[in-house]
Amino acid sequence: MNRIRLTIATRQLVAFLLAAAILFFPVLPAVASATSGGTLKANGVVTVDDLRASSGLTIWSGSHIVTSTQSVATLELGNSRRLLLFEDTELEVDFSEASISASLREGKVRAFLPVGKSLMLSTPAGVVVTNPGDATILSVQVNDDATIVSVEQGRAELRGGKEIRMLAAGETFTAAGNCAAMPVPQQNLGSKAKIGLVAGIGTGLAILLFAITGNDDEEMESFGGCVVVPSGFTDPPGQCSR
């Protein structure tokens, strides 16, 4: 009797393991593809996660990439998706098979996306979001004075606060001032950091004062709490106006 019970228990265990294997193994290819890495092409001094990188390096989701002066990098992320990082650019990038989510702290990025793939790019002025229904080519540049979004092909949106700016192919939009700060880890401020904070506040007040008392013949728009330069106000030309 004990032997019969043992045989039944063994068969039940084997059946359970087979069922688990049937359910689990079809998922493995999807998991592997979702976590597959991209490929870096570097020209000049490029670092990945604070380490000097060379062409051919595998890039994983969550990588922090920095290009130095006179240096560029290309990220091949599969499915015909490509990000070109110009010189003096700092980018953090997360990606899956369907989408790319990145944060551009400074510099310039040009993105190439096929139909069905999307990009969400955080900038100091807001979040740039592409339309996955279109093949898209766009450039986003962040400097000390402004965030500039240029759409060459497809459509995109710049979302800042409660406002959304829609851009079609051939349009360029400039959000001046970069007053919307990107989330950064909380940390104690040293004396130099406090001086920088005071200087930053002073710069922000100067920008606000200029917007209030500046030339009455031109109008400065606001976008997500930032100052926006309408088309024709300053270089570069071709910027969108409401």
What are the tens digits of pLDDT across the range 174-230? 997 655 434 333 334 444 444 454 455 555 545 544 444 444 443 334 556 554 444
The pLDDT, as a whole number, for residue 17 is: 53
For the chain, what percent of residues have pLDDT higher than 90? 54
Question: Residue 148: is it exposed, middle or buried by C-beta count within 10 angstroms (0-12/13-18/19+)?
Answer: buried
In whole angstroms, give the CA distance from residue 135 to residue 152.
10
The pLDDT, as a whole number, for residue 45 is: 98
Token digits for 90? 């700092």
The answer to whether residue 138 scores a pLDDT higher than 90 is yes
How distant, in Å, are the alpha carbons of 23, 53, 113, 182 from that of 42?
Answer: 42, 7, 20, 27
In whole angstroms, give the CA distance from residue 5 to residue 50.
61
Token digits for 184? 């950064």
Least confident range from 62-66, 121-125, 172-176, 202-206: namely 202-206
The reported pTM is 0.63
The pLDDT, as a whole number, for residue 95 is: 95
- Tell me the per-residue pLDDT of 72-87, one tens digit each, with 9 for 90 and over: 999 999 999 999 999 9
Q: Is 21 helix (H, G, I), strand (E, B) or coil?
A: helix
The pLDDT, as a whole number, for residue 161 is: 82
The answer to whether residue 65 scores a pLDDT higher than 50 is yes
The pLDDT, as a whole number, for residue 36 is: 77
The answer to whether residue 115 scores a pLDDT higher than 70 is yes
